[in-house]
Chains A and B, each alone.
Chain A
């Protein structure tokens, strides 16, 4: 079997690019270039390595960053949606609700009135991204 390690290194670089530039208009072809792979092969191997597609990873990273801004800044929901890379408030709110289970305004209201837990931000970055068990792809018709 081919050594999988160099492939993982390339895939990780693409994933890191999402983590770093999540607010930019990233698209799959650009990410595939970062990973030195064709588009179809990139999406397949990314999913195999990390358990989700690059697009899912990007959406979840954006929502995780939005959660952080809603907890720790006074930005409005609209400002937060722009800040994390959504082009419309509608798609931000729908994605947020789908992944988090409540609207962004409710999430912000809950956290901004509470004392912030004393957890280092590098760990919330790594551990509070919405994940598979909370995620429903749009249009799958899964009632959850």
Chain B
């Protein structure tokens, strides 16, 4: 059986700038930063959660032809992509903290049926939810 999701690709416009954003603004930890030939494998994770790595990747060859890469970059820059939802222990406090560091929020913390949620963008343009869940499902 499949037991979980361990890696998620986040398309970014620049790895150095993304690294700075995810570590300095969001407070994430660098999981792996390794370069082989010209390929830089750069992953980060939420504090204390190395079991789920975010792969910060710039679209480009040879994985993607130049034209496709430009299209993906355009989608990221235009803000069309939303890779997922983060969890927070205290959404309002984290909002205040991240907002103070200049993270761009699209919506402020609001009560929902599943918890308190805010939405923000990373520095490349990807949008995320940040939710303090009240309905966390329990694994069997």
Question: B117 contacts which of A49, A118, A122 (Cβ < 8 Å)?
Answer: A122
Cross-chain contact B85 with A122 (CB below 8 angstroms): yes
**Residue in A11, A19, A121 with the greatest tally of chain B CB atoms within 10 Å:** A121
Return A8 CB to nearest CB of chain B, in Å: 4
Given A16-B106, A120-B85, CB of A8 within 8 Å of CB of B129:
no
Question: A20 contacts which of B107, B110, B113, B127 (Cβ < 8 Å)?
Answer: B107
B64 interface hit (Cβ, 8 Å): no
Instruction: Give B52-86 interface residues, CB cut-off 8 Å to A.
Output: 73-74, 77-79, 82, 85
Please report the number of residue pairs spanning A and B whose Cβ atoms sit closer than 8 angstroms. 52
Return A74 CB to nearest CB of chain B, in Å: 15
Q: Is the interface of B mostly helix, strand, loop or mixed?
A: strand
Instruction: Give A1-21 interface residues, CB cut-off 8 Å to B.
Output: 4-5, 8-9, 11-13, 15-16, 19-20
With a cutoff of 8 Å between Cβ atoms, the chain A residues found around residue B101 in the complex are none
18 A-B residue pairs with CB within 8 Å: A8-B77, A8-B125, A12-B77, A12-B78, A12-B79, A15-B79, A16-B79, A19-B106, A20-B106, A49-B78, A118-B113, A120-B114, A120-B117, A121-B110, A122-B119, A125-B106, A125-B107, A126-B82
